[in-house]
Chains A and B, each alone.
Chain A
Amino acid sequence: MHTVVRSATKELIIGHDQPFCIIGERINPTGRKKFQEELRAGDLSSVARDVEDQIAGGAMMLDVNMGAPFVDEPDMLAKAIKLVQGMTDMPICIDSSVVEALEAGLAAYDGKALVNSITAEDDRMAAILPLVKKYGAAVIALPNDHDEIPDDPHKRLELVGKIVEVATKEYGIAMEDLVIDPLAMPIGADHTLVWKTLETIRLVRDTYGLNMTLGASNVSFGMPDRHTINSVFTPMAMTVGLTSAIMDSRTESIVRSVKAGDLMMGNDEWGGNWIAAHRARQAAAES
């Protein structure tokens, strides 16, 4: 199944037979005090450097989130999207829990965006899916409902089933425009949690064949040597069906592990990308 997203001029395909889609996570003020202060003052100057760093690191799409206390999120999200689109032709993942912000972001965006996100909660679907339909976007869906984030992978699969049913039948969203977030949990909080995420990925792939993405950095929260954990987790998840991740594309070791994963998965024909990346590093070292 292919999920197609677009900027004004560039198309990106997410799929099980495609190179893994690296979505840069950095344009997000959570946990960044200075960035939050700038946003409150309407200052988006930090975004430029974040965009450059992430693209240089290997991002293929950029997540844009402007959610912080005292920030006019719809206004800032629309402005940030226009700014980023002025800098790069990379497709954007419009990220907010505020419905008005998603709408403002979609209205500002030129292309086919990925919306982050809905859940299996009826009110979230009712508020956001009509916007996804209206703007012809794709949407990330999280299998949690009003009561809980289920631990049990089969329970998560049931909620995926509910999302598929409602989104395709009630709102006319195409199956391939649903991207499931199987919920990456911190391994430090419970050492069985990541296995449950992997099991969820496998079940969703085998049952629905849908594309999936997740916040890959979550798994290493609270642990030392986070980069190694993230570098190992992502290829493991790829083998069971993860096709994309929202991740820190500035960390070379993580991006390289993903590229090696593409090679192992048979999604890098004759190792062309792998060898080209090697040559590029050689050339950079010599210059």
Chain B
Amino acid sequence: MSNDEILKALYDETMVGNAPAVLELTKKGLDEGLTPSELLFDALIPSLEEVGARFERGDWFVPEMLIAGRAMAGALEVLRPLLAQTGAETVGTFLMGTVKGDVHDIGKNLVNIMLEGAGFHVIDIGVQAAPEKFIAGIEEHNPDIVGMSAFLTTTMPMFKANINALEKAGLRDKVIVMVGGAPVTQEYADVCGADGYAADAATAVRRAKELIAAKRGAA
């Protein structure tokens, strides 16, 4: 297999969620002299971007998105330590939690898998995450983006409470805040002072990348 063939196969197998093949091709690629960055940015990430685009068009469905994300996550376990050694710029770190008072986690987990698939380093602080937990998470992991999920109209106000807590702790300008969940709307996100909102997992990934690019561009 030539290097181009490896990258093409890696792209194809990731898209159909063939985790064992993705892992094998990733290792083979490294053995053949491809760099971790090449494997990530020339095969894995474009593949997941295509999956996300197909999902957004309504051509692909949630399980297909999930298995592609999981296949990619397996490859990332191999690549992440190598990428850290080379000091390559990562896509970004994303701290994610469901807000206090809310135990819904399926939507949050879907977004996590797609973010990992897009190359993000995702830290999940779980459900029922109080403002202090978000703050402790930010202080420990220094994320680029903080994601807050809420599934109930009664727990959505925690977005604002969390954002207020971040301001008080002097952390608000250090992170991008994204919010989401079934009852959440763009307008609600704007009013509570979040930087970004998305209605589904694929859009969340696209939006997260845009927001990071804008922030890095401005810095």
| A residues neighboring B (CB under 8 Å) | 30-31, 33, 36, 67-70, 73, 96-98, 144-149, 185-186, 188-191, 221-224
Contacts and interface: CB of A to CB of B under 8 A. Distances in A.
A146 B127 CA distance: 10
A189 B128 contact: no
Question: Which 5 A-B pairs give the minimum distances between C-beta atoms?
Answer: A222-B62, A188-B62, A69-B188, A67-B153, A97-B154
A167 to B, nearest CB: 20
Interface stretch (B8-16, B22-30, B43-51, B104-112): B104-112
Contact of B109 (A33, A189, A224): A189
Nearest to A36: B185
A215 to B, nearest CB: 11
Given A30-B182, A98-B154, A149-B103, 20 more contacts: A30-B183, A33-B185, A67-B152, A67-B153, A68-B153, A70-B191, A97-B155, A145-B103, A146-B103, A147-B103, A147-B127, A147-B128, A148-B103, A148-B105, A189-B106, A189-B110, A191-B63, A221-B62, A222-B62, A223-B62
Interface string B148-191: 00001111100000000000000000000000001111011001
Contact of A149 (B61, B105, B183, B191): B105
Interface of B: 61-63, 66, 103-106, 109-110, 127-128, 152-156, 182-185, 187-188, 191
A18 B47 CA distance: 52
A223 B128 CA distance: 28
Contacts of A188: 61-63, 66
A223 B103 contact: no
A263 to B, nearest CB: 32
18 contacts: A30-B183, A69-B156, A70-B188, A96-B153, A97-B152, A97-B154, A97-B155, A98-B154, A147-B128, A149-B104, A185-B106, A186-B62, A188-B63, A189-B62, A189-B110, A221-B62, A222-B63, A223-B61
A149 B107 CA distance: 13
A126 to B, nearest CB: 15
Nearest to A37: B187
Contacts of A67: 152-153, 183
A31 B182 contact: yes
Contacts of B63: 188-189, 191, 222-223
Contacts of B182: 30-31
A36 B186 CA distance: 12
Contact of B183 (A69, A147, A191, A224): A69
Nearest to A31: B182
Contacts of A145: 103
Contacts of A224: 61
A73 B156 CA distance: 14
A144 B109 CA distance: 18
B126 to A, nearest CB: 9
A221 B201 CA distance: 13
A30 B187 CA distance: 14
B104, B105, B153, B191 pick with most chain A CB within 10 angstroms: B153
A69 B184 CA distance: 7
Contacts of B104: 149
B106 A69 contact: no
A186 B185 contact: no
Contacts of A68: 153, 183, 185
Nearest to A225: B61
Given A191-B63, A223-B62, A69 B153 contact: yes
Nearest to B127: A148
A4 B185 CA distance: 37
A144 B103 contact: yes
B69 to A, nearest CB: 12
A98 B104 CA distance: 17
Contacts of A36: 185
Contacts of B188: 69-70
A188 B156 CA distance: 25
Contact of A146 (B106, B128, B185): B128
Contacts of B62: 186, 188-189, 221-223
